[in-house]
Amino acid sequence: MHDKTATITPRNGAVASDGNPVPASGTDVENVPCALRPMSSAEAERWGRSAQAQVFDFFCDPTAPDGSAVTVGHDDQITVGGVIYKAIGPSEDQGGRGNVLRTPVEKAYR
């Protein structure tokens, strides 16, 4: 299921002058096995996005290759294949078994 890897950059809560969240320095989680799948239009609307928006379900392992726990919070930055996405909601345990996290994300435009 996980056909890509991601770098997850948590946000520190601050907002830059251009309106983008400011990343927390030195806290990136790298090489997280992941997959991106287009989100259904109904699910996109649940997150306040139009059906035409570029929104995806981001799936990842709950543990990074270095053994640390992976968490994705609202507004965290996720980079997959050089493309930057922004979490539009928190991660949740997909299926309730603790082996896959699902996070709603949208393509970030800069």
User: Tens digits of per-residue pLDDT, 36-91?
Assistant: 999 888 888 888 887 667 899 999 988 888 888 888 888 889 999 999 999 998 88
Q: Domains in the chain, start-ordered, CATH in brackets?
A: 4-107 (2.40.10.270)
- For position 108, what pLDDT does the model report? 84
β-strand partners of 83: 80
- How many CA atoms are closer than 13 Å to the CA of 41, on its beta-carbon side? 3
pLDDT tens track for 30-40: 899 999 999 88
- Short-list 28, 29, 78, 26, CA closest to 57: 78
Which residue, 81, 70, 68, is CA-closest to 36?
A: 81
